[in-house]
Chain A
Amino acid sequence: MTGMHDGESDELTLTAFRYVAGELSSEEQRTFESLLEADLDAQQALADIVLICDAIVDSPDAFQPQRVQRRAASGRSPGRARGFAVMAAVGAVLVVLLALWTGFPTGLDVAGDGSTGVTQGEEVDSIVSIWSQLGAADGDDGVAETFDDPDEDDPGSEDAVEEFPDWLMSGVSGDPDDSNLLPAPGDDELEEDES
């Protein structure tokens, strides 16, 4: 730097950099090399460029702030990813605890005894209540009756027994006094003839 204007010096520095980097054309290169033979500023600029490049290459920490920013911008920061994982885990735990606290059936065996944290009576009441509401909406008498008379369609009930013919009941019971109730052979044929 021997009295050059700043603009000229800066341009010379950039030219020296491009010379070291091999970016000059053949003509530019010859021009710069001829300048190097006599111009102390050119020599100084070239020497400084070598020192600067060597220092930068040996000091990646000089770029550390930017590298941190680039990682943050790209979302690839290991610390950030770890933070997301921790937050997701905490969120999942909170959801499970909230579900247990509110009595929502989770299917989890909280007590470790096979129960799910919800008593069977509560489940039945809940189902009956829902079923009754649905039945009322359809115009039925309600599900309560359905649950109150579970033997309504049971063939073993008295009403069902009355529907069986006497001859069949006598055959099942094996009582000989009722044997006359059995249809005699040929009765079917007589009935057909009469008809």
Chain B
Amino acid sequence: MRAWLFRVAYNEAMAIRRRQGVENRSLARLARSSPKFPETPEEAAIGSEWKEQIQQAMTRLPEEQRDVVRRRIYDEMTFAEIAETLGVPLGTVLTRMRLALKKLRKALTE
């Protein structure tokens, strides 16, 4: 099942890149414009499961990491803009995002 999920996600990523182009930095729009992965009830159940896992992992993130994720995805801010807003170096913002993505990816394998 995970192989299926990976294949669908990867193909979707490629499709998104082709549709939106590299200039579009709105991840929210990218995600919203993508068609829903599951096509069968079984796939829908799997999709709901991993979504729930990621959402729960989001709530467990440290506040500073969750803030960076939120600003980047919801507020559509660049990492440079986030660093300037928070008054921290760009490397700090990238580190927080890197750690957050690591934990979220780990939630997918649990």
Q: Does B83 contact A (CB under 8 A)?
A: no
User: A11-23 vs B: 1/0 string, CB under 8 Å?
Assistant: 1011001011111
A57 and B28 in contact, given A13-B98, A66-B70 (Cβ under 8 angstroms): yes
User: A55-71 vs B: 1/0 string, CB under 8 Å?
Assistant: 11111111101100000
Closest B residue to A17 using CB positions = B101
State the Cβ distance, A127 to closest chain B Cβ, in Å: 65
Which A48-85 residues have a C-beta within 8 angstroms of B? 48-63, 65-66
Q: B13 near A49 (CB under 8 angstroms)?
A: yes
A10 and B13 in contact, given A61-B55, A63-B66 (Cβ under 8 angstroms): no
Which one, A39-47, A149-157, A173-181, is touching chain B? A39-47
Q: B25 near A43 (CB under 8 angstroms)?
A: no
State the Cβ distance, B94 to closest chain A Cβ, in Å: 7
A59 and B58 in contact, given A13-B102, A14-B98 (Cβ under 8 angstroms): yes
Q: Does A118 contact B (CB under 8 A)?
A: no
User: B91-110 vs A: 1/0 string, CB under 8 Å?
Assistant: 00010011101101100100
Q: How many B residues face the partner with a CB closer than 8 A?
A: 47
Q: A65 near B31 (CB under 8 angstroms)?
A: no
Q: B101 near A53 (CB under 8 angstroms)?
A: no
Which of A20, A44, A63 has a CB less than 8 Å from the CB of B30?
Answer: A20
A47 and B6 in contact, given A17-B97, A53-B30 (Cβ under 8 angstroms): yes
Which of B16, B54, B59, B97 has a CB less than 8 Å from the CB of A65?
Answer: B59
State the Cβ distance, B25 to closest chain A Cβ, in Å: 5
Interface core residue of B17, B31, B51, B63 (most chain A CB under 10 Å): B31
Which of A14, A24, A46, A53 has a CB less than 8 Å from the CB of B10?
Answer: A46
Q: Given the complex, which residues of A lie within 8 Å of B59, measured CB to CB? A: 62, 65
| A21 to B55 alpha-carbon distance, docked (Å) | 20
Q: Given the complex, which residues of A lie within 8 Å of B99, measured CB to CB? A: 10
Q: Given the complex, which residues of B lie within 8 Å of A132, measured CB to CB? A: none
Given contacts A48-B9, A53-B27, A56-B69, 10 further A-B contacts (CB under 8 A): A11-B98, A23-B78, A29-B22, A47-B10, A51-B54, A52-B108, A53-B73, A55-B54, A59-B54, A66-B70
Chain A residues in the interface with B (C-beta under 8 A): 6, 9-11, 13-14, 17, 19-24, 26, 29, 43-63, 65-66
